[in-house]
Amino acid sequence: MARVQRSNVMLTVRDVASLLSVDINTVRRWTNRGILKAYRVGPRGDRRFLQEDIAHFLFEKSEKDANNQQGET
C-alpha cells in the first residue's frame, strides 16, 4: 500500500506575499477577511501558512480567472 506524504511546510507572511506578488499588508488583510487560511503561532500570534493551503488558493484563483475569461468571449 502506498503512503501519501503530506507537506507540513509553514510559510511566513513575507514568504506568501512574495509567492503571490502582493504586499505583506495585503496578505494580512486577506487572512483577516478569511480569504487565506492562517495559523497563529507564538506569544505574538504571528501568522503562518501551510504551503499546501497557498497552493490550493492559487489553484482556485486560476480556475476562477479561467472561468471569467471564458465568460468574456
CA-closest candidate to residue 54, choices 24, 9, 23 = 9
Domain 10-72 has CATH 1.10.1660.10: yes
Residues 6+ apart with CB under 8 A from 24: 13, 14, 17
Q: What is the pTM of this model?
A: 0.77
Summarize pLDDT for 24-39 with one digit per residue, the tens. 999 999 999 999 999 9
Q: Is the pLDDT of residue 73 over 70?
A: no
59 — phi, psi (to 5°)? -65, -45
Q: For helices 13-20 and 24-33, what crossing angle results, to 10°? A: 100
pLDDT band at 63 (very low <50, low <70, confident <90, very high): confident
Summarize pLDDT for 35-56 with one digit per residue, the tens. 999 999 999 999 999 999 999 9
pLDDT band at 66 (very low <50, low <70, confident <90, very high): confident
Domain ranges of the chain: 10-72
